[in-house]
Amino acid sequence: MTRFAVLVVVVALAPLVLHYPELETQILTFGLLAVAFNLLLGEMGFLSFGQATFNGVGAYVAANALIAAHAALPLALLAGLVAGGASAAVIGALAITGRGVYGVMLTFAFNEMAYYIAFQWRDVTGGDNGLRGIPSPALFGLSLDDATRYYYFTAVVVLLAFAALLRIIDSPFGAVLRAIRENEDRARAIGFRVRRYKIAAFAISGALSGLAGGLYAELFRFVPLQAIDLDTSTNVVIATLLGGIGSPYGPLLGAAIFTVLSNSLSHVWSHWPLVFGLIFCAVVLFFRGGLWGIADRWGRRAAHA
Amino acid sequence: MLRTRELTKRFGAHVAVDAVDIDVRPGTLHAIIGPNGAGKTTLFNLLSGELRPSGGSIEFADCDVTRLDATSRSHLGMGRSFQRTNVFPKLTVFENVRLAAQSRTDQSFALWRTAASLPAVNARAEAALEEIGLLGHRAQLASELAGGDQRLLELAITLATDPVLLLLDEPSQGLSPEDARRLIDRIGALAARYTIVLIEHNMPLVMGLSDEITVMNFGRILAHGTPAEIRADPAVRAAYLGKTA
């Protein structure tokens, strides 16, 4: 609870300290995507290499709801959430039939297919020009067409989603996911229908990813094709491993660092991924718990001293 | 309680289990013994539902379970242990057992409750740890337990599912003689409350423990009877006891 309180304070104060509300909003939406991804990896032990699929589906559905149906923002976000969850349930149900690396490759393959569909289906996605013409955000008549306001709106939504996820992780359902991660056969032998839990976990992860996509679409009122491409899926994996998979706070931290570095370094030096790659290798090789693991250890030590 | 008729498993041309009839009466400890390769583990996997039989039938508590999978059989009250230690390594001892107890509730899809605050589940888990003598280790990670204790934990997990019948697959495998002794003593204590099918390679261990023994060799039943009858059986002595008896 105290950690969550610290998170709320950090999120609330961030725009006052750093005056880049768009960048900070991006951290939040990307953070939500990473946290959703880590429900599968950190809790259930399944590496989804196609997390951008659900992000993209959510973004396109929410954006089209806003453009074509003139839906209210909460409704559009809800549509993105449902679409993300539904697509993840279907893809998850197929992907988990492959064990180990085959399952990973299936999520990867479905991502590639989703990307290709988005690339071709210009009426809905705008193809490689991206989807434009999304109306400016408003909430019950209140305009959110201001970067700081939209940041705070996003912050509330993301923090609520994160709190929900923390609850799910602590729930009996979350406990079963860890049982599956630790020993799938034993989980089955003590009477859990493993497949159902896996599909449900995919649906939840996909729903939160779809929500992240919807929030992202409204940020720049634009959905680039990158929202659904494999680079984004890879970035989610990298940011999460960087932050650490042992705690839901790890992916948030990783997403923040990744977003800040990729934005600032790319202005300075176009070969920034080289630097980032080195940092990433160092963390994965020497700090298995990720940066959150290190921070957590420091925190405990400070608490003891 | 548990009955097989003409139970058969073929792997290609090889018949691993060949028309086996076994009757396990309620309240007994029934050991199935035999040399390596006799088909014990295959038989065990047929009983627990890990393998589908090529022929024959399995009845449990007057219910035909031949076509049911392992998860369904678990819910009917057949609790199995594994030959190799099979726990949830990076979870605490208590969480290992708590999960097994949770599997008996309809709460496992509850997203909005806290797993640690299901009173009936916690009570069931504690009772299982108590019964097996691991309550003192509850906060340790399963992977940090000594080998013998892990095997006991494995048994506690099975007990926490509230089984009627325990299927135990070579529980003493890989344990030091002292740990094996300790485990067998625990199983002896459990025999008062459960019907047990015990598959075991180490014959002296089961002799004092069992009510009935079935001896297998080459996938078939070689002999069946009380420990005294088995000890006296000339065919068994020839096939199996030769060196040890």
> How confident is the model at residue B245, as a pLDDT?
38
| Cα distances (angstroms) measured from residue B6 to each of A171, B54, B133, B219, B221 | 45, 10, 39, 12, 11
Interface check B118 vs A, CB under 8 A: yes
Count of CB atoms situated within 10 Å of the CB of A35: 29
Interface test with B, best of A44, A160, A182, A190 (most B CBs within 10 A): A190
Interface check B104 vs A, CB under 8 A: yes
> How confident is the model at residue A1, as a pLDDT?
56
Tens of pLDDT, residues B77-97: 999 888 777 899 999 999 999
Q: Is there a contact between A178 and B91 if contact means CB atoms under 8 Å apart?
A: yes
Tens of pLDDT, residues A72-93: 999 999 999 999 999 999 999 9
How close does chain A come to B87, measured CA to CA in Å? 7
Tens of pLDDT, residues A90-116: 999 999 987 778 999 999 999 999 999
Domain B1-77+163-245 falls under CATH 1.10.15.40: no
Which residues in chain A have Cβ-Cβ distances shorter than 8 Å to B101?
none
Count of CB atoms situated within 10 Å of the CB of A262: 17
Tens of pLDDT, residues B204-243: 778 888 999 999 988 999 989 999 998 888 888 877 655 4
Q: What is the value of ipTM here, to two decimals?
A: 0.86
List, edge to edge, every strand of the sheet that includes B212-217.
B78-80, B165-169, B195-200, B29-33, B212-217, B220-225
User: Which 3-state string (H, E, C) describes A101-152?
Assistant: HHHHHHHHHHHHHHHHHHHHCHHHHCHHHCECCCCCCEECCEECCCHHHHHH
Which residues in chain A have Cβ-Cβ distances shorter than 8 Å to B169?
none
Q: Is there a contact between B115 and A188 if contact means CB atoms under 8 Å apart?
A: no
Tens of pLDDT, residues B105-126: 988 888 888 998 899 999 999 9
Q: If you search the block for the tokens 């193809």, which residue do you land on?
A: A127
Q: Is there a contact between B103 and A167 if contact means CB atoms under 8 Å apart?
A: no
Averaged pLDDT in 10-residue chunks for chain A of 305 residues: 88 88 94 97 93 96 92 94 97 89 92 95 90 87 87 96 96 96 92 95 98 95 93 93 92 93 79 79 81 85 78
> How confident is the model at residue B205, as a pLDDT?
77
Residues forming CATH 3.40.50.300 domain(s) in chain B:
1-77+163-245
What pTM was computed for the model? 0.90
d(CA B78, CA B66): 13
How close does chain B come to A139, measured CA to CA in Å? 28
CA A265 to chain centre: 22
What backbone phi and psi angles, to 5 degrees, belong to A26?
A: -60, -40
| Cα distances (angstroms) measured from residue A28 to each of A12, A20, B193 | 12, 13, 56
| pLDDT mean across residues, chain A | 91
Q: Is there a contact between B74 and A191 if contact means CB atoms under 8 Å apart?
A: yes
Which residues in chain B have Cβ-Cβ distances shorter than 8 Å to A183?
86-89
Which residues in chain B have Cβ-Cβ distances shorter than 8 Å to A200?
109
Find, among A141, A139, A140, A121, the residue nearest to A131 by Cα: A121
Query: Does the pLDDT value for residue B167 go beyond 70?
Result: yes
Domains of chain A, CATH where assigned? 2-304 (1.10.3470)
Do A243 and A279 contact (CB within 8 A), yes or no? no
> How confident is the model at residue B242, as a pLDDT?
55
Task: Name, in order, each residue with C-beta under 8 angstroms of B70's C-beta and a sequence gap of 6 or more.
Answer: A188, A189, B48, B49, B50, B80
